[in-house]
Amino acid sequence: MKTIQAYRFALDLTPAQQRAILAHAGAARVAHNWALARVKAVMDQRAAERSYGIPGELLTPSLSWSLPALRRVWNAAKNDVAPWWPQCSKEAFNTGLDALTRALKNWADSRTGRRAGRPVGFPRYKSRRGTTPSVRFTTGAIRVEPDRKHVVLPRLGRLKLHESARKLARRLDNGTARIMSATVRRDGGRWHVAFCVEVDRAVRRPTRPASVLGVDVGVKHLAVLSTGEMVRNPRHLAAAQARLRQLGRALSRKSGPDRRTGQRPSRRWQRASARLGRAHARVANLRRDGLHKLTTRLAREHGTIVVEDLNVAGMLANRRLARHIADAGFAEIRRQLTYKTSWNGGRLVVADRWYPSSKTCSGCGAVKAKLALSEREYECQTCGLVIDRDHNAAANLAALAAATAGSGPVAGRGADRKTPLAGPVAVKRQPGTASAGQTGTVPPQGGTTDRVLTKAH
């Protein structure tokens, strides 16, 4: 099974190498800003001509937003715009133009309704201080050295790794991997290189292929499983909040940059800003490590995993819980489970957003009309079952897929905004077979709608 996988390694760079990478990142920013100004100028000119009543065939010719078209325009003007362009790799300018192409496409798709989610704004200019330095290489000499402690990138030469690249080197030596691109980026004061690799992965089977697991994520517990296990929420951001406040206050007392007066930041401000950035990076690394360990364990052990389609963006509107929800990483858990279940030969089932997993009794199927968030235990008025609220929701999620395990797509009754007073949740069998490595979305309102299957990447 061929799939796209990323390998990310920390770098140990010399001052000269850091300056070279920053020069490439600056070249990408220059190309991005110049092309964006050109696109905006053409759009504004055409809009002004339309306001004058000029017919469409006489308007200023439009500028294509595709990467090849922007690259041709840049190559024609780069001698005047950036006479120093031979000092940097062509991939640096391609990085900025590619980023602009993606941003314009996302904006256009969002306006026309082809892109789901919140509206995407028009691309903005990239500033030197407000942009994360990054450059992407797709052609040229990109390889891992035989000592597995160095990598070679175009124009940058031989870069030392902070850790061994043996996992990637073994696949490259065996011929089961092919490097497609390499991206150098600075995160939290550290430089990293990420290889985008096409990997030929061996077909795997979960430890328990017939096992069906419901996963209910939350703030009190990071995840409550239908088996009864409750995964503790480490709350890395809350634990580091005192340290972050201290560093933030220390930074505010330093002389920082001011765009209105052109004031440059002091050395002390730069050092304090770097300390604050490292503290935030540590929180992100701890969260990423914990989520990867949890999702890897679940995907390797269970054949079917059921999660909810949560409205995380709407949940973040709650100012009392927004910080804790963002710290838990609900969306990241689902994203990792999506591709890890595919890698391990399992499947991921996504319950409908309005499926009443918390309001439904896992014993008799009765549904409560209302269930306050403060009620941490579920008490069924029909059968008298008393169970933990999150455990009850996880059990309902597992039952949603277990009721039709092995018979193909799962169809369950999705709830609307007005949940009925009582009644069991209907689970209907559907014909067909779902292949391993696919994700399913349980459609609302039961019925005979087949589950929508999408490839897991």
Mean pLDDT by 10 residues, the chain (457 residues): 93 96 96 97 93 89 94 95 94 96 96 90 92 94 94 95 95 94 92 96 91 92 93 94 96 91 92 94 95 96 92 88 92 94 92 89 89 88 89 91 50 44 39 41 38 34
Q: Quick one: tokens of 195?
A: 């290889």
- Separation CA 254–CA 328 (nearest Å): 32
CA distances from 447 to 20, 364, 411, 415, 429 (A): 60, 21, 7, 13, 10
Edge-first strand listing for the sheet containing 347-351: 230-232, 221-225, 208-217, 302-308, 347-351, 438-441, 452-455
CB atoms within 10 A of CB 251: 19
Q: Quick one: tokens of 192?
A: 């990293």
Assess contact for 307 and 265: CB atoms under 8 A: no
According to DSSP, the β-strands at 157-161 and 221-225 are unpaired
Which of 98, 216, 327, 352 is labelled catalytic?
Answer: 216
* 379 assigned to active site: no
Assess contact for 443 and 452: CB atoms under 8 A: yes
Question: So what's the pLDDT on residue 129?
Answer: 83
- Separation CA 377–CA 267 (nearest Å): 55
Which of 91, 98, 308, 352 is labelled catalytic?
Answer: 308
What are the backbone angles phi and psi of residue 153, rounded to the nearest 5°?
A: -125, 150
- Which residue(s) pair with 350 in the sheet? 307, 441
pTM of the model: 0.81
Question: So what's the pLDDT on residue 448?
Answer: 32
- Separation CA 78–CA 167 (nearest Å): 40
CB atoms within 10 A of CB 123: 20
Assess contact for 442 and 411: CB atoms under 8 A: yes
Distance of CA 343 to the CA centre of its chain: 18
Greatest distance between any 2 Cα atoms in the chain? 79
Give the domain ranges of the chain: 2-15+133-200, 22-112, 208-233+278-455
- Which residue(s) pair with 10 in the sheet? 192
Question: So what's the pLDDT on residue 403?
Answer: 61
- Separation CA 430–CA 92 (nearest Å): 52
Q: Quick one: tokens of 295?
A: 């999702």
CA distances from 375 to 322, 386, 389 (A): 20, 12, 8
- Residue 439, class by beta-carbon neighbours within 10 Å (0-12 exposed, 13-18 middle, 19+ buried)? buried
According to DSSP, the β-strands at 452-455 and 438-441 are antiparallel
* 57 assigned to active site: no
CB atoms within 10 A of CB 10: 12
What single letter denotes the amino acid at residue 375?
E
- Torsional class of 445: left (φ above 0), alpha (ψ -120 to 50), beta (otherwise): left
Question: So what's the pLDDT on residue 436?
Answer: 40
At 437, is the secondary structure helix, strand, or coil? coil
Which of 91, 327, 352, 390 is labelled catalytic?
Answer: 390
Question: So what's the pLDDT on residue 36?
Answer: 97
What are the backbone angles phi and psi of residue 432, rounded to the nearest 5°?
A: 110, 170
